[in-house]
């Protein structure tokens, strides 16, 4: 049971923004707070390129303070807003017609939907004025290249998947994909969020985004040197091998369900390692589930609040795990680059590293040999062999990943290469990432895909003007060769530079490699070669494609519509708890969902249960503070960082506060539609308008007015504790990923007496 929600990987990188971007369109992100180093690059782009910074956010953030244009949007209306921009762009013929014609499929449906979103209707729905919509559409269309930046403010909605689709569609319309200074630069808030996603902190895939189908499992069994049947027998029954697990968002429902609805059993034990449980929504339900568990294990360097908010007295174990300074290995940055980190000190006192905890666990349950076997293996003459009796950590772990994870191209990420980059970081240009001297011909951190140990990495995705050997590629062929009789491959006008094949071509498989590449395999190669490029342990497909200047995943059109999704083309749907019942009737949410990640999810039944805005009239917006991150477990143990924000608070407009007779610094109760409440300090601020409040999600230790600090083991209580905003985060989850609707909800304000 795990989930790290993908907001998408950066197509470009921060240095590229500094070097080339003429406009930066930031929506649903406040990188001045969540990623200050990234924001430094945006400010450099303003200085260096006179780049215009456009910030779209419900709150006047620190990023907005540096913007050339700030647009205050109503939360949960991002799709409508982008359609409003597209309406102007299409109406004036400002779209990149050639790019759309040659490299995109399904744009006609987008164009039709955009016709509905006049400036007046967009303004009515989003709260952004018609004049600003026209102004920004004009600026984006006439300023090239332009890059789009987003983060959690886009993904954390019941329509998060549509949000993350409509923004790349905007870039496709303007022809900014695959271009220097363009693309979509999605900001991760922590240094290895991209890596944790790539490595399967997800409940619906294997490492590297391999699916849960039999072919993927058999590939991994082979790559790990294991018998497939042995692997299958680790499951309660074979069918669960191919089913999604419980998501991190709704794992609690797997505990509280009264019967085996979609699983073999309710969840009875929870192991928490490397995740702030209180950074999840529905904290009251989390607490209820924690109380009901048979076993709770916390493996963290700091006390995770999961051990604090529960009333459970027995069978709660806290294992001291070392920090990142006490171990060694690689992390994957927001721009798809890998960075090697060397251990600073040995684990202190009784603590162990994450991997040692996992090794001990595997030994206890009798599968240590199988767990570590792949680290002793290598591909020799196209075949996988066990070549050593003992493994070297972490080098052999890194080499194992490089050997196995082909889908995103980690073949070049060997420990040897990553160490060389760490040792010679000064030989790389921070703007282009290009290496010099002994590192010439490589990009810093080998941004994936780095197909082989000779490949330099790919700083800009989907760049057909660069040879494959230097990081170029077209769009990936993932969805077949045609749809509704329309080819999904581009014509010869879209040829990857230096490629033997002109125009589009399919992903390369054992069955088509000879025909597509125009070659003949030897009988030995035919015996060794894998079914397709993703499962070819021999490396023959990659080798033959490299010789032909061909990208293994094909060269296809981007698709603007997804025929397997509830909304084939992104649509505006009102938040589950909307302040506008008139718009709920016009733009309703989805029908209720059955069995997604083993649970049912309410959509329309929740939205239509009542006019929520009558009882809960104030919009609820969450935010970060620069001195805390996630649940704040680590930072709140620092008296210096805690001094900056010593207690939980909410930004409230003085006009709204005074309507409730609340003075600056008064305590107030915030009530949610789910019947939960939190007690926080009112902090006057005009950053928010009188129709909404904004509060950080970085606190824990109080639950609905109850101080839980007695549950901290002696000497571990942080300097700052408080209510978690997620106790009142409204019910709502994305229909595809199940990410909670953190950033669109309602609340009721009541002054706290006494």
Backbone angles phi and psi of 615, in degrees to 5: -90, -30
What whole-number distance in Å separates Cα of residue 153 and Cα of residue 163?
10
Q: What band does 196 get if pLDDT is binned at 50, 70 and 90?
A: confident
Q: What is the DSSP string of 180-249?
A: TT-SEEEPPSSTTHHHHHHTT-SSS-BGGGB-SSHHHHHHHHHHTT--HHHHHTTSSSGGGGGS----ST
Residue 396 DSSP code: H
Q: Which whole number is the average pLDDT over 417-437? A: 97
Q: Which whole number is the average pLDDT over 42-50? A: 97
Report the share of the chain in percent with pLDDT over 70.
Answer: 98
Instruction: Provide the residue range defining the domain that includes 118.
Output: 14-186
Task: Give yes or no for a contact between 336 and 10, defined as CB atoms under 8 angstroms apart.
Answer: yes
3-state secondary structure of 89: helix
Read off the pLDDT of residues 613-672 as tens digits, 9 standing for 90 and up. 999 999 999 998 999 987 888 899 999 999 999 999 999 999 999 999 999 999 999 999
Widest CA span in the chain:
85
Read off the pLDDT of residues 319-330 as tens digits, 9 standing for 90 and up. 999 999 999 999
Backbone angles phi and psi of 748, in degrees to 5: -120, 135
What whole-number distance in Å separates Cα of residue 594 and Cα of residue 673?
22
As given in the structure block, the two tokens for residue 117 are 């979103």
Tell me, yes or no, whether 317 lies in a domain. yes
3-state helix, strand, coil in the chain (%, to 5): 35, 15, 50
Are residues 178 and 100 located together in one domain of the fold?
yes
Are residues 338 and 373 located together in one domain of the fold?
yes
Closest CA to 5 of 290, 281, 271, 268: 281
Print burial letters for 238-250: b (CB count within 10 Å at least 16), e (below 16).
eebbebbbbbbbb
Are residues 173 and 202 located together in one domain of the fold?
no
Are residues 177 and 35 located together in one domain of the fold?
yes
CA angle 182, 188, 194 (to 5 degrees): 95
Read off the pLDDT of residues 481-534 as tens digits, 9 standing for 90 and up. 999 999 999 999 999 999 999 999 999 999 999 999 999 999 999 999 999 999
Q: What band does 22 get if pLDDT is binned at 50, 70 and 90?
A: very high
Are residues 172 and 243 located together in one domain of the fold?
no
Q: Which whole number is the average pLDDT over 67-71? A: 98
Are residues 335 and 232 located together in one domain of the fold?
yes
Tell me, yes or no, whether 451 lies in a domain. no
CB atoms within 10 A of CB 614: 9
- Calculate the alpha carbon distances from 559 to 54, 144, 191, 302, 494 in Å: 27, 22, 30, 44, 15
Which runs of consecutive H residues, i.e. helices, occur in 92-174?
97-103, 107-115, 119-126, 130-142, 152-155, 160-174
Tell me, yes or no, whether 574 lies in a domain. no
Q: What is the DSSP string of 144-157?
A: SSEEEEE-HHHHSS
> How confident is the model at residue 259, as a pLDDT?
66
- Partner residues linked to 257 by β-bridges: none
- CATH number of the domain where residue 156 is located: 3.40.228.10
Task: Give yes or no for a contact between 164 and 155, defined as CB atoms under 8 angstroms apart.
Answer: yes
Tell me, yes or no, whether 415 lies in a domain. no
Q: What band does 4 get if pLDDT is binned at 50, 70 and 90?
A: very low
Sequence-distant (6+) residues with CB within 8 A of 657 are: 663, 664, 666, 682, 684
CB atoms within 10 A of CB 293: 20
- Calculate the alpha carbon distances from 567 to 48, 291, 292, 596 in Å: 41, 38, 37, 16
Tell me, yes or no, whether 501 lies in a domain. no
Closest CA to 549 of 476, 614, 458, 466: 466
Are residues 127 and 100 located together in one domain of the fold?
yes
Q: Is the pLDDT of residue 708 over 80?
A: yes
- Of 132, 155, 186, the position where a domain reaches its end is 186
- Of 382, 410, 438, the position where a domain reaches its end is 410
Tokens 């040692």 locate to 356
DSSP element (H, E) containing 421: helix 415-423
DSSP element (H, E) containing 619: strand 618-623
Q: Is the peptide bond before 145 cis (omega within 30 degrees of 0)?
A: yes
Read off the pLDDT of residues 433-448 as tens digits, 9 standing for 90 and up. 999 999 999 999 999 9
Provide the domain count of the chain.
3
Q: What band does 3 get if pLDDT is binned at 50, 70 and 90?
A: very low
Are residues 75 and 200 located together in one domain of the fold?
no
Q: Which pTM does this prediction carry? A: 0.96
Tell me, yes or no, whether 491 lies in a domain. no
> How confident is the model at residue 91, as a pLDDT?
98
Are residues 219 and 368 located together in one domain of the fold?
yes
Are residues 245 and 369 located together in one domain of the fold?
yes
- Of 147, 170, 186, the position where a domain reaches its end is 186
Read off the pLDDT of residues 97-132 as tens digits, 9 standing for 90 and up. 999 999 999 999 999 999 999 999 999 999 999 999
Tell me, yes or no, whether 198 lies in a domain. yes
- CATH number of the domain where residue 647 is located: 2.40.40.20
> How confident is the model at residue 53, as a pLDDT?
98
Q: Is the pLDDT of residue 65 over 50?
A: yes
Are residues 295 and 279 located together in one domain of the fold?
yes
Sequence-distant (6+) residues with CB within 8 A of 614 are: none
Closest CA to 29 of 2, 47, 51, 10: 10
Task: Give yes or no for a contact between 446 and 418, defined as CB atoms under 8 angstroms apart.
Answer: yes
Are residues 227 and 324 located together in one domain of the fold?
yes
Dihedral angle at the C-alpha atoms of 730, 736, 738, 740, nearest 10 degrees?
-30
- CATH number of the domain where residue 283 is located: 3.40.50.740
Closest CA to 280 of 5, 608, 546, 61: 5
Read off the pLDDT of residues 565-618 as tens digits, 9 standing for 90 and up. 999 999 999 999 999 999 999 999 999 999 999 999 999 999 999 999 999 999
Q: What is the DSSP string of 698-717?
A: ---EEETTEE-GGGSPTT--
Chain mean pLDDT for the chain: 95
DSSP element (H, E) containing 355: helix 354-364
Tell me, yes or no, whether 438 lies in a domain. no
Closest CA to 10 of 460, 380, 588: 460
Q: Is the pLDDT of residue 194 over 90?
A: no
> How confident is the model at residue 258, as a pLDDT?
67
Task: Give yes or no for a contact between 277 and 246, defined as CB atoms under 8 angstroms apart.
Answer: no
């Amino acid at each position: 049971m795990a989930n790290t929600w993908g907001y998408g990987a950066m197509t470009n990188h921060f240095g590229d923004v500094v070097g080339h971007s003429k406009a930066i369109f930031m929506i649903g992100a406040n990188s001045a707070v969540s990623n200050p180093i990234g924001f430094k690059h945006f400010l450099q782009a303003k200085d260096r390129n006179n780049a215009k910074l456009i910030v779209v956010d419900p709150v006047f953030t620190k990023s907005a303070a540096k913007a050339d244009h700030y647009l205050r949007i109503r939360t949960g209306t991002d799709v409508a807003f982008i359609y409003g921009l597209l309406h102007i762009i299409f109406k004036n013929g400002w779209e990149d017609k050639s790019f759309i014609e040659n490299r995109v499929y399904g744009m006609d449906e987008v164009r039709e939907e955009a016709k509905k979103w006049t400036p007046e209707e967009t303004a009515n729905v989003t709260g952004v004025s018609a004049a600003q919509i026209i102004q920004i559409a004009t600026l984006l269309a006439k300023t090239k290249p332009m890059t789009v930046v987003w983060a959690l403010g886009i993904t954390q909605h019941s329509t998060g998947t549509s949000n993350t689709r409509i923004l790349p569609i905007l870039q496709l319309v303007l022809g900014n994909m695959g271009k220097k200074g363009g693309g979509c630069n999605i900001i991760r808030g922590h240094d290895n969020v991209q890596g944790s996603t790539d490595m399967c902190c997800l409940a619906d895939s294997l490492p590297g985004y391999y699916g849960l189908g039999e072919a993927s499992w058999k590939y991994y069994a082979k790559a790990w040197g294991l018998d497939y049947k042995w692997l299958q027998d680790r499951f309660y029954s074979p069918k669960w091998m191919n089913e999604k697990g419980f998501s991190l968002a709704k794992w609690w429902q797997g505990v509280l369900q009264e019967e085996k609805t979609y699983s073999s059993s309710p969840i009875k034990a929870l192991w928490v390692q490397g995740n702030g449980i209180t950074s999840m929504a529905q904290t009251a339900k989390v607490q209820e589930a924690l109380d009901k568990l048979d076993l709770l294990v916390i493996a963290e360097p700091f006390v995770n609040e999961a051990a604090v908010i529960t009333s459970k007295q027995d069978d709660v174990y806290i294992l001291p795990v070392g920090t990142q300074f006490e171990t060694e290995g690689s992390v994957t940055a927001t721009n798809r680059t890998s960075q090697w980190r060397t251990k600073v000190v040995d684990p202190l006192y009784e603590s162990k590293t994450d991997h040692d905890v996992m090794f001990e666990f595997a030994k206890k349950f009798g599968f240590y040999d199988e767990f570590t076997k792949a680290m002793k293996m290598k591909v020799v003459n196209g075949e996988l062999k066990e070549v050593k009796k003992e493994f070297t950590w972490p080098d052999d772990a890194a080499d194992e990943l490089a050997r196995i994870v082909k889908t995103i191209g980690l073949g070049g990420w060997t420990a040897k290469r990553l160490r060389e980059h760490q040792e010679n970081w000064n030989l790389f240009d921070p703007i282009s990432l290009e290496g010099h001297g002994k590192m010439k011909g490589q990009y810093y951190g080998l941004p994936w895909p780095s197909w082989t140990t000779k490949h330099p990495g790919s700083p800009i995705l989907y760049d057909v003007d660069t040879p494959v050997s230097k990081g170029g590629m077209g769009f990936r062929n993932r969805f077949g060769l045609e749809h509704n009789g329309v080819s999904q491959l581009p014509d010869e006008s879209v040829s990857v530079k230096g490629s033997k094949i002109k125009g589009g071509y399919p992903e390369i498989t054992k069955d088509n490699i000879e025909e597509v590449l125009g070659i003949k395999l030897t009988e030995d190669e035919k015996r060794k070669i894998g079914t397709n490029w993703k499962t070819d342990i021999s490396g023959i497909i990659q080798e033959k494609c490299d010789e032909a200047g061909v990208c293994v995943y094909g060269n296809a059109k981007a698709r603007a519509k997804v025929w397997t999704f509830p909304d084939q083309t992104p649509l505006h749907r009102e938040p589950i708890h909307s302040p506008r019942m008139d718009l709920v009737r016009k733009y309703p949410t989805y029908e209720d969902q059955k069995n997604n990640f083993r649970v049912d999810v309410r959509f329309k039944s929740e939205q239509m249960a009542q006019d929520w805005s009558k009882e809960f009239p104030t919009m609820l917006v969450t935010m970060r503070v620069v001195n805390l991150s996630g649940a704040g477990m680590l930072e709140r143990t620092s008296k210096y960082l805690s001094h900056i924000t010593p207690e939980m608070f909410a930004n409230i407009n003085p006009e709204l506060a005074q309507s409730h007779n609340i003075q600056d610094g008064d305590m107030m109760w915030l009530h949610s539609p789910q019947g939960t409440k939190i007690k926080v300090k009112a902090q006057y601020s005009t950053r928010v308008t009188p129709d909404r409040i904004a509060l950080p999600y970085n606190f824990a230790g109080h639950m609905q007015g109850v101080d839980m600090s007695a549950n901290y083991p002696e000497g571990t209580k942080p300097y700052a504790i408080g209510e978690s905003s997620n106790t009142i985060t409204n019910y709502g989850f994305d229909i595809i990923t199940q990410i909670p609707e953190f950033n669109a909800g309602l609340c009721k304000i009541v002054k706290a007496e006494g």
